[in-house]
Structure 1
Amino acid sequence: MELKTKNSKLKILHISSARSWRGGEQQLAYLLEELQALGQEQLVLCVRGSAMEGFCREKGFAFMTYRKRFSANPLVGLKIGRICKKHSIDLIHVHDSHAHTFAWLGALFGNKTPIVVSRRVDFPIGKGRFSQMKYHHPSVRKILCVSEEIRRVLLRDYRFPERTAVVYSGIDLEKFPFKNTGILHREYRIPEALPLIANVAAIAPHKDYFTFVRCVDILVRQGVQAAFFIIGGDGGDRPAVERMIRERGLEGHIHLTGHRADIPTILPEIDLLLFTSKTEGLGTTVLDAMACGVPVVATAAGGIPEMIGDGETGLLAPVGDAEKLARQVIRLLGDRALRARLTERALGRVRDFSKEAMGRGVMEAYTSLS
């Protein structure tokens, strides 16, 4: 099946299997907006009752829903084939692993619509027959990796490098004001002069909040005066992280806010982002911090070094190295000139990661299929 010419409008079916709203869903939302601005026709297939359904309703994007039930539901694959035929879909863009599975099942049932896969995770594809078939199926015409590191890891087990491309995740550079509103200081009754050190991410295994807690423990024992925040909903690890905080006697130092919808408002209030992931496709929280002038100390996981040059746009430490992270935090807190230099350079670097650039990159990948 051949796509239309480069100047023609495409009919794109986006598939999401997520029920909640995290980084991948935000990227799909940005992509929908950018492709709409480029004049493309889009339809979203998402889980019934999901956050993505709510977004599409609110913003007026065309959508259909399905009952997920389980991750390899053949009925969803059949539905995709019917949608593609009824709406004359030119290409399918899948935005997570289960969505990829559903589109692949549709291809097994005879749907010939080309598939584009977004890959956001920095671990290899499975070596089992199921994963290998899913990724190497001829309908998969392009795999879009959100960092060079993800592409490098993918190509360990993927036989078609010409079908891969890197399109960095994007952020809304206009969303984050530089104004410090003081919301967290007031809400948690923190003295105005006390700096805030935070991570902004779901409390999920790959975010490695255990290293965050160990780092805070070191900083507190060394007399660092700061309030520490974990800003994000429970991704499975919250009970264990809370237990670790209690065991180390850090209840009075670390505040867990849960999920918050006001990140653009509170992020500029943070004095330092302490980002401790052990795996990370790219890490758009880091980009958000860079965009609003918040200095970053992070692990060198996945695609993070593609955003943060150590000593250039932030400070890095090896994955899991709480002691090195603590040293970097102390270094940054104690050097005003270093903070100013890093944030100034970060503001220049982050412009390469706009949602507009992401939209153009995805569109170029689409048209390269013709």
Structure 2
Amino acid sequence: MNTDPLRILHSEAATSFGGQEQYIRRMMLAMRERGHHLEAVCQPDALLTQRLRDEGFTVHTTFMDGPANFVKSVSKIRRILRQGNFDVLNTHSRRDTIVAGCSGRLAGTPLIVRTRHLANKVGSLLSYTVIPHRVTTASDFVRNHLIERGVPPEYVATVYPAVDLPQPPDQSTLRQELQLAQSDIIVGCVAVMRAQKGHRDLIDAMEPLFRQRPDVHLALVGGGSPVFEEILAYIAAKNIGGRVHMLGARRDVPNLLAGFDIFALATRKEASGTVFVEAGAAGLPVVGTNVDGVPEMMQDGVSGILVPLDDKPALTAALKRLIDEPQLRQQMGEAGLKFCREENRFSAESMAQRAEACYARWLAERKS
């Protein structure tokens, strides 16, 4: 650690547990490893509250939703900040940025940082330039968008999310589960079943390849109603149920990735797209859409192939090329392995180092 230990309070108003909450959890764990003191403030019914407590963190709770809770929450968080003598308040959602951010201003917290996780267009700059002192983002794409909207470039920095990269198993059980031969080619996709993830686009792009190659299969990993049921019906209507395998939500993703030959995700919106990193770290060539933060998670033409959004012929062509050229699959898979795993750019340590450097620099700027 190149800086004195910091006292950092993270805030999050969301009650669900997804990529954003995982980002916070991994950040807190990694920063604690580097000697800093971390606490959090969440809503009482938030899944993140218990996850962090299970990791040994102190988690304060207050209801942040609705105008009726505003004054009470601001007062409580201000008291937490003052009594805890925190150096940094790091907010994450718009709601907690307003509530906790106002608390931080009233408490005189030295540095208030807002982290922007999403690739959606930003409306009001209130929670980016007025309440916080500085901003971090999950990708350069999001950073550039904020700069275009008016956030000063020197006030916003990218801190890539950490990606858990377990060593792949020696042998996957996927082919045995699907009763497929070792010579069959499996194109796999891992994503929550949401419309923006482009599952239909991927199925449509694969359909002509099913007709050309009887040894090609598509495995879709992920759950989520009602899209899961809609995709099942879509597959049935096309009569390709024997070629598209719906595996649902799974806890053995490394095992499944080890059974794929190619990873593909035709996502329509993705702030970062860390699943491409997980696939690359498993030695898989990847195919993705050239949107948002996806190009930062792979090397186009080196570890995989990017295609334009809504260009199904290009998506089909990219998949066909990798299906037909085993040497290219191996070459791109090896490049992805180096990019994602060997260069350490998506490790928890790298994430913490970036955040630590931002905090230290911005605290120094604020004091000068």
Q: TM-score, normalised by structure 2?
A: 0.88
Give me the whole-angstrom Cα distance separating, in 1, the residues matched to 2:251 and 2:172: 15
Matches of 2:245 and 2:150, distance apart in 1: 42
Structure 2 distance, partners of 1:46, 1:366, is: 22
CA drift at 1:54: 3.2
Answer yes or no: is the 8 Å Cα contact 1:273–1:296 preserved in 2: yes
Are the counterparts in 2 of residues 291 and 347 from structure 1 also a CA contact under 8 Å?
yes
Q: Which residue of 2 aligns with 1:265?
A: 255
Q: Provide the residue aligned with 1:358 in structure 2.
A: 351
> Within 1, Cα distance between the matches of 2:244 and 2:75?
48
Unaligned stretches of 5+ residues in structure 2: 364-368
Letter in 2 for 1:149: F
Matched, 1:60 2:56: yes
Does structure 2 retain, via aligned residues, the 8 Å contact 1:95–1:119? Answer: yes
Say how many residue pairs are matched.
358
Aligned CA distance change for structure 1 residues 338 and 188 (closer, same or farther; 3 Å): closer
Give 2:357's aligned amino acid: E
- The letter for the 2-side match of 1:298 is G
Go from structure 1 to structure 2 and tell me whether the alpha carbon gap of 1:97 and 1:335 turns closer, same or farther (over 3 Å shift): farther
- Which residue pairs with 1:249 in the alignment? 239
Query: What corresponds to 1:277 in structure 2?
Result: 267
Q: Which residue is 1:3 aligned to?
A: none
Whether the aligned pair in 2 keeps the contact of 1:298 and 1:315 (CA below 8 Å) is yes
Q: Distance in 2 between matches of 1:16 and 1:207?
A: 25
Q: Is structure 2 residue 157 aligned with structure 1 residue 160?
A: no
Matched position secondary structure for 1:294 = coil
RMSD: 2.5
| 2:126 aligned partner | 133
Give ranges in structure 1 of 5+ residues lacking alignment. 1-5
Name the CA shift for 1:136/1:69 in 2 (closer, same or farther; >3 Å).
closer
SS in 1 for 2:279: helix
- Are the counterparts in 1 of residues 65 and 95 from structure 2 also a CA contact under 8 Å? no
Q: In the alignment, is the contact (CA less than 8 A) between 1:214 and 1:322 conserved in 2?
A: yes
Give the secondary-structure state (helix, strand or coil) at the position aligned to 2:204: helix
Question: 2:258 is paired with a residue of what secondary structure?
Answer: helix
What amino acid sits opposite 1:365 in the alignment? Answer: C
Query: In 2 relative to 1, CA 100–268 (structure 1 residues): closer, same or farther, beyond 3 Å?
Result: farther
Aligned to 1:291: 281
Would you say the 8 A contact 1:18–1:47 is kept in 2?
A: yes
Q: Secondary structure at the match of 2:362?
A: coil
CA contact (8 A) 2:303 2:335 kept: yes
Question: What is residue 297 of structure 2 aligned with on the other side?
Answer: 307
> Out of 190, 197, 201, which is 2:187 matched to?
197
Q: 2:18 aligns with which of 8, 17, 22?
A: 22
Kept in 2, the 8 Å contact 1:232–1:257? The answer is yes
Pick closer, same or farther for the CA change 1:69–1:192 going to 2, 3 Å.
farther
- 2:212 corresponds to 1:222: yes
Contact 1:124 1:156 in 2 (8 A): no
Alignment correspondent of 1:10: 6
Identity in percent? 26
Given residue 6 of structure 2, which amino acid in structure 1 is its aligned partner?
L
Answering whether residue 27 of structure 2 is matched by residue 31 of structure 1, we say yes
C-alpha distance in structure 2 between counterparts of 1:44 and 1:296, whole Å: 36
- Return the alpha-carbon distance in structure 2 between the equivalents of residues 321 and 73 of structure 1: 47
